[in-house]
Amino acid sequence: MPPTTPTLWAQSTKWVKAKILNTNACTVWGETLYDQVVGPQNLGRRVRVYAPVGTHETLLAYLVRRLLENGANSSFVNQIVDENISIDTLIRSPFDTIAEQGIHLHNALPLPRDLYGKGRLNSQGVDFSNETVLQQLQEQMNKAAAQDFHAASIVNGKARDVGEAQPIKNPADHGDVVGTVSFADAALAQEAVGAAVAAFPEWSATPAAERAACLRRFADLLEQHTPALMMLAVREAGKTLNNAIAEVREAVDFCRYYANEAEHTLPQDAKAVGAIVAISPWNFPLAIFTGEVVSALAAGNTVIAKPAEQTSLIAGYAVSLMHEAGIPTSALQLVLGAGDVGAALTNDARIGGVIFTGSTEVARLINKALAKRNDNPVLIAETGGQNAMIVDSTALAEQVCADVLNSAFDSAGQRCSALRILCVQEDVADRMLDMIKGAMDELVVGKPIQLTTDVGPVIDAEAQQNLLNHINKMKGVAKSYHEVKTAADVDSEKSTFVRPILFELNNLNELQREVFGPVLHVVRYRADELDSVIDQINSKGYALTHGVHSRIEGTVRHIRSRIEAGNVYVNRNIVGAVVGVQPFGGHGLSGTGPKAGGSFYLQKLTRAGEWVAPTLSQIGQADEAALKRLEALVHKLPFNAEEKKAAAAALGHARIRTLRRAETVLTGPTGERNSISWHAPKRVWIHGGSTVQAFAALTELAASGVQAVVEPDSPLASYTADLEGLLLVNGKPETVGISHVAALSPLDSARKQELAAHDGALIRVLPSENGLDILQVFEEISCSVNTTAAGGNASLMAVAD
**Domain identity same for 38 and 184:** no
**Domain identity same for 371 and 425:** no
HSE of 122, CA atoms in CB hemisphere, 13 A: 17
Radius of gyration of the chain (CA): 29
Q: Which residues pair with 519 in a beta bridge?
A: 501
Distance CA 411, CA 403 (A): 14
Question: Residue 521 maps to which CATH number?
Answer: 3.40.309.10
**Domain identity same for 278 and 394:** no
**Is there a domain that residue 750 lies in?**
yes
**Domain identity same for 572 and 632:** no
Question: Exposed, middle or buried, 373 (CB in 10 Å: 0-12/13-18/19+)?
Answer: middle
Number of other residues whose CB lies within 10 A of the CB of residue 323: 18
User: Contact, 229 vs 235, CB < 8 A?
Assistant: no
**Domain identity same for 488 and 515:** yes
- State the pTM of this model: 0.92
Distance CA 152, CA 336 (A): 7
User: Contact, 233 vs 243, CB < 8 A?
Assistant: yes
**Domain identity same for 253 and 173:** yes
Domain endpoint, select from 109, 138, 173? 109
Q: Tell which residue, 243, 219, 221, has the closest CA to residue 232.
A: 243
Name residues whose C-beta falls within 8 Å of residue 321's C-beta, 6 or more positions apart in sequence.
Answer: 218, 221, 222, 225
- Chain segment 141-177, per-residue pLDDT in tens: 999 999 999 999 999 999 999 889 999 999 999 999 9
The catalytic position among 382, 504, 700, 779 is 382
* Number of domain units in the chain: 4
**Is there a domain that residue 134 lies in?**
no
HSE of 501, CA atoms in CB hemisphere, 13 A: 22
Question: Residue 297 maps to which CATH number?
Answer: 3.40.605.10
Q: Please state, in angstroms and as integers, the Cα–Cα distance from residue 33 to each residue in 80, 90, 263, 312, following that order.
A: 13, 16, 59, 66
According to DSSP H, which parts of 578-725 are helical? Answer: 601-604, 624-634, 641-657, 691-703
Q: In the chain, what is the straight-line distance between the N-terminal and C-terminal CA atoms, in Å? A: 42
Catalytic (active site) residue 783: no
**Domain identity same for 183 and 239:** yes
The catalytic position among 214, 255, 401, 416 is 416
User: Contact, 177 vs 168, CB < 8 A?
Assistant: yes
Q: Tell which residue, 422, 390, 383, has the closest CA to residue 516.
A: 383
Distance CA 783, CA 258 (A): 21
- Our measurement of the distance from residue 568's CA atom to the centroid of its chain's CA atoms, rounded to an integer in Å, reads 10
Q: Note down the domain range covering 75.
A: 4-109
Q: Tell which residue, 236, 211, 200, has the closest CA to residue 315.
A: 236
- Chain segment 476-504, per-residue pLDDT in tens: 999 999 999 988 888 999 999 999 999 99
User: Contact, 178 vs 232, CB < 8 A?
Assistant: yes
Domain endpoint, select from 380, 409, 426? 380
Name residues whose C-beta falls within 8 Å of residue 476's C-beta, 6 or more positions apart in sequence.
Answer: none
Q: Tell which residue, 752, 751, 740, 655, has the closest CA to residue 704.
A: 655
**Is there a domain that residue 194 lies in?**
yes
Distance CA 72, CA 787 (A): 16
**Domain identity same for 637 and 582:** no
**Structure letter (DSSP) for residue 776:** G
Residues of the chain with pLDDT below 50 are 25-28
Question: 3-class DSSP state for residue 323?
Answer: helix
**Is there a domain that residue 607 lies in?**
no
Angle at 546 between CA 544 and CA 550, to 5 degrees: 170
SS (H, E, C) 552-621: CHHHHHHHHHHCCCCEEEECCCCCCCCCCCCCECCEECCECCCCECCCCHHHHCEECCCCCCCCCCECCC
Question: Exposed, middle or buried, 124 (CB in 10 Å: 0-12/13-18/19+)?
Answer: middle
**Domain identity same for 216 and 346:** yes
**Domain identity same for 285 and 376:** yes
Catalytic (active site) residue 382: yes
User: Contact, 283 vs 307, CB < 8 A?
Assistant: no
**Is there a domain that residue 491 lies in?**
yes
Domain endpoint, select from 78, 93, 109? 109
**Domain identity same for 363 and 425:** no
User: Contact, 688 vs 715, CB < 8 A?
Assistant: no
**Domain identity same for 157 and 272:** yes
Q: Tell which residue, 662, 667, 672, 671, has the closest CA to residue 581.
A: 667
**Is there a domain that residue 146 lies in?**
no
Concatenated DSSP letters for 50-81? E---S-HHHHHHHHHHHHHHHHSTT-HHHHTT
* Omega within 30 of 0 (cis) for the link into 594: yes
